[in-house]
Each structure stands twice: as structure tokens, then as C-alpha cells.
Amino acid sequence: MIETGLRDRVVIVTGGAAGIGRAVVRRFAAEGARVSAWDVGDAAPLAGELSEERLDVRRIDVTDGAAVEAATAAVVERWGRIDVLVNNAGIVRDKQLVKWKDGAVVSVLDDATFDSVIAVNLKAVFLCARAVVPHMIRGGGGVILNASSMVGLYGNFGQTNYAASKFGVIGMVKTWAKELGRKGIRANAVCPGFVSTPILAEIPEKVLKAIEDRVPLGRLARPEEIANTFAFLASDEASYINGAVIEVSGGLAL
């Protein structure tokens, strides 16, 4: 493992209970950071893996602004500051904009399905950053990292809501890089391709094989490979990277 100088940094990871988020929590903890893992699900199993001294687990709905503010205050009360925010929480609710068959509309992307993805994937990113940034400014700087997606760059069939949300968090990063750079805060986005996580569990094996065949490296990403990118961007080794959008896709877009 490459030493990234993250020891004793205070890090918040949303969606930290599973998948990429869990790998991010483990990666930062392995570097000696103090990590607050937020998730609407049960992140308690992490407590059995990592030192209680360096892990803070919070069951929180990041679409609830008041809950986000309270959790942020609790992290600052415990550890005195916030150095890194990893906006990783996200959901998928796929549906075609309009499904048309035999000359008629079969179904449409309904408001509730659209709004649920925007709330978690986009608005929650705004809520978390708004809560955390004042503490970063008071502390002299920090790093905001948004989990976007290759879908946010190139779109994908049946993912109007998801693509919009993931493109939106890139726009936030570019805006925050300009607004907050002079405050010592860097903002960057990571765009994973297809990653071997539970979110892919419902995809048929033959479809996954077809996806792997599209990737020049011939396989899906491991969550740890995405986590390594977040760790690098959070570290002082990436001190002049600001407003960047990093693809971690095995060359999927080539």
C-alpha cells in the first residue's frame, strides 16, 4: 500500500456501509485516518472490523438536511474538525423515459422514481457539502470528493435519473473548485465504470459477461481500486488537483 499521509485526518464517508463506500472506509482507516461512516442502512458491522478509536458509525438519511447538520456537528464535537468529505451515497432506480411498444406508451419514468434518485445522488451531496464546508474553512482547508459515474459522462440506456444526478455532481465539483479553492478546499469527482458490488447482483450473468468484454482490461473493477483513487485525491500527494474528473473504468470509454 502506498502511504498517502492521511494519518489522523478526519474523514466523512457517506454510503459507508457497503460496496465502494465500505472499501473507502477501510482504505482511509488503514491509512490511520479517523473515519465517520454514514449510511441509511446498518454500518455497525464495520465496528467489528476497525478500531473504535478511529471509527464513528452513524445511521443517517443524507437527504434529511437537519440530520446531516446534526451528524456533522457530532463529528466535529468528537474529533474537532473535518478534513475530507467523500460523497459516495447513491441509489439506482432504472426506467426508460418512455417505453413504447406496438404504437402505444407502455410506461414512463414517473416523478417518484426520478425524484428519489435525485434526492439521494444529487441533493444529498449538496446538503452534506453545505454542512461540512464551514468547518473546513475554519480549519484552514479540506477536500471534497464526489462519487460520479461513467454514466454521468456518457449517459446510459434507462438511466435518465441516474445520469442526470451523476452529471450534476460533476457540475457541483467544478463550481466548488472555483468557489472554495482560495479557502484551501479542493473538490474533485471520481467516475467509476462497472464495479463488482452488490448493486450489480440483479444483473444476469450473461449481461455482466458482455460488460466485461467491453472493458479493455477484461474485468469489472474491485471496490478497493476505486477506494484507492479516493485516498490518493484526499492526500497531499494530490495537492494541486482541483476541479478534476477522474475516470476509473479500465478504459471502458475507449
- Is 162 designated active site? yes
Identity of the amino acid at 44: A
CB 126: neighbour CB atoms within 10 A? 15
The C-alpha atoms of residue 105 and residue 95 are separated, in whole angstroms, by 13
Spell out a b/e string for 219-246, using b for 16 or more CB atoms within 10 Å of the CB, else e.
ebbebebbbbbbbbbbbeebeebbbbbb
Give the Å distances, CA to CA, from 63 to 91, 187, 196: 12, 21, 26
Closest to 156 (Cα-Cα) out of 129, 122, 205, 191 = 191
Choose, from 162, 176, 194, 230, the residue flagged as catalytic. Answer: 162
Active site residues: 162
